[in-house]
Chains A and B, each alone.
Chain A
Amino acid sequence: MRIAVVLGFLLLGAYLIAVLEAWLATGRLRLAAPGWAAMALLGRESVVPRQPDRLFFETAPVLLLIAALLAAAVLPLAPGLFITNLATGALFVNAALAYVLVALLMAGWGPDGAYALIGGWRFLGQLIAYSMLIVMPITAVAMRAESLLTTDIVASQAGLWNILYQPLGFVLFFLAAMGVAFLPPFDLPSAEGELAGGVTGEYTGVRLAVFRLGRLVLVITLSAATVVFYLGGWLGPVLPPWAWSAVKILAVSAAMLSIGHYLPRIREAHLLAWCWKLGIPLALLNIFIVGILVLVWP
């Protein structure tokens, strides 16, 4: 029952994100748009390119969806409302998100197409850029909570949310999360108009539908992770806990989507340089500041 509720939450979230995405792209708010798009994709031909690496080509969309769902499985939406409450939850989120890279590399390699392959390799570079900015801020969050349990992490923010306790970590994590979900301006692997769709370019029909679903769930998962780690999870006055989670998650994903709408795509070399020359020193500084804060004023 609990699991069904969480999965229903994720699906509903994915639907709302799809509505928002279509709204931003077309300028018209159509609530039925994702439904029509999904049905159209189901009815369309799903072409397999010639000489594919069949195993990689077929695995990639499924793996993206599984990675996003597994990461979401350890994030609580309310007290008692989670799929599992692993003792190593915060670490497990990282482990699951690592498979996003594997999925996109497979999607790049599988079809044996030039643009797809460039997209896949680009995402490997993107991982090298964003990965530390996911891992290091989470470390600082775990330092305050003294636990990797995601429920403990939320409970540790009862006095003051982490967005105020460690704002630097929040900014880095938020941007890096956009990088994981390859949302604009970090949509290097799929770059429309530059790589003809990149890793998603060779997917059509039902396979593309699964790929898109995986991406939507990934956006929801990363918003949920941001909320759990920095925005106090289900904590909040008046409204019931699940409602707070839902509102915060939707607000964060709306922010992620709309920020990218107004920014040009960043170049890979620039992304790497910014992340390593500014991001990682700042992330280390964040760990140091939180280290002192935790000892002085928990």
Chain B
Amino acid sequence: MNNALEQYGLLLGLAVGTVGLVLSLYATARALGKTRREPGKDVPATSGRLARDPVWVRYHARYYGYALLFLAFDMEMAYMYPWAVVYRKEGLVALLDMGVFLAILFLGLLYGWSQGALRRQ
């Protein structure tokens, strides 16, 4: 328990250390020179013209059919990992248990496919 906490502490330290490294890089760049303010410099790339509308209204997520199926599969994977660890110990029973579960999920995928979920909407 203590050991696991120690390991997560180490990972947190790694993350904090990375932030420190990046901040020191920013400080170095700042020491080398500042960004000069000039008109038109801070316009995002839009092929030379300013965007008329807010940019975030434009994108149509055409993959939402996949996204819904993805939710089901992603949930299922949470069960797969503990199952995978005890798999050999449990033997054939484990294969059949998960086989039924995966078969139902796979049928769901086939059904979604037949109903046109796997299509650019």
Query: What A residues does B120 contact at CB under 8 A?
Result: 269, 272
Query: B80-121 vs A: 1/0 string, CB under 8 Å?
Result: 110011111101100100110010001001000100001010
Query: What A residues does B91 contact at CB under 8 A?
Result: 295
Q: Check B102–A295 contact: CB distance below 8 A.
A: no
Q: How far is the CB of B18 from chain A (nearest CB, A)?
A: 5
Q: Check A42–B28 contact: CB distance below 8 A.
A: yes
Q: How far is the CB of B7 from chain A (nearest CB, A)?
A: 4
Q: Check A87–B4 contact: CB distance below 8 A.
A: yes
Q: Check B61–A49 contact: CB distance below 8 A.
A: no
Alpha-carbon distance between A209 and B29 when the two chains are bound, in angstroms: 11
Q: How far is the CB of B114 from chain A (nearest CB, A)?
A: 12
Q: Check A84–B11 contact: CB distance below 8 A.
A: yes
Q: Is A161 an interface residue (CB 8 A)?
A: no
Known A-B contacts A114-B58, A269-B62; the reply to A50 vs B42 at CB < 8 A is: yes
Q: Check B19–A294 contact: CB distance below 8 A.
A: no
Q: Which of B46, B56, B62, B84 has the most CB of A within 10 A?
A: B84
Query: What B residues does A83 contact at CB under 8 A?
Result: 10-11, 14
Query: What A residues does B69 contact at CB under 8 A?
Result: 276
By beta carbon, the residue of chain B nearest A209 is B25
Query: What A residues does B89 contact at CB under 8 A?
Result: 146
Q: Which of B41, B54, B81 has the most CB of A within 10 A?
A: B81
Tell me how many residues of B have a C-beta within 8 Å of chain A: 59
Q: How far is the CB of B115 from chain A (nearest CB, A)?
A: 14
Contact of A125 among B29, B61, B84, B85 (CB under 8 A): B61
Q: Check A66–B85 contact: CB distance below 8 A.
A: no
Query: B17-41 vs A: 1/0 string, CB under 8 Å?
Result: 0110010011011001101100001
Q: How far is the CB of B100 from chain A (nearest CB, A)?
A: 12
Query: A73-111 vs B: 1/0 string, CB under 8 Å?
Result: 100000000011111001100000000000000000101
Q: Check A206–B81 contact: CB distance below 8 A.
A: no
Known A-B contacts A73-B11, A294-B87; the reply to A113 vs B46 at CB < 8 A is: yes
By beta carbon, the residue of chain B nearest A195 is B45
Contact of B67 among A43, A128, A206, A287 (CB under 8 A): A128
Query: What B residues does A49 contact at CB under 8 A?
Result: 42-44
Known A-B contacts A128-B63, A298-B88; the reply to A277 vs B45 at CB < 8 A is: no
Q: Check B55–A117 contact: CB distance below 8 A.
A: yes
Q: Check B59–A295 contact: CB distance below 8 A.
A: no
Q: Check A142–B51 contact: CB distance below 8 A.
A: no
Query: What A residues does B99 contact at CB under 8 A?
Result: 288, 291
Task: Give the interface segment out of A18-26, A170-178, A197-205, A223-231.
Answer: A197-205
Q: Is A254 an interface residue (CB 8 A)?
A: no
Q: How far is the CB of A117 from chain B (nearest CB, A)?
A: 5
Alpha-carbon distance between A142 and B79 when the two chains are bound, in angstroms: 13
Q: Check B45–A202 contact: CB distance below 8 A.
A: yes
Q: How far is the CB of B50 from chain A (nearest CB, A)?
A: 10
Query: What A residues does B11 contact at CB under 8 A?
Result: 70, 73, 83-84
A-B contact pairs, 20 of them (CB 8 A): A43-B33, A47-B42, A50-B42, A65-B18, A66-B18, A69-B15, A73-B14, A112-B44, A112-B56, A113-B51, A117-B55, A128-B70, A131-B74, A132-B77, A142-B81, A143-B84, A196-B47, A206-B28, A276-B109, A291-B95
Interface positions of A (Cβ within 8 A of B): 3, 42-43, 45-50, 61-62, 65-66, 69-70, 73, 83-87, 90-91, 109, 111-118, 121, 124-125, 128-129, 131-132, 135-136, 139-140, 142-143, 146-148, 196-197, 201-202, 205-206, 209-210, 268-269, 272-273, 276-277, 280-281, 284, 287-288, 291-292, 294-295, 298
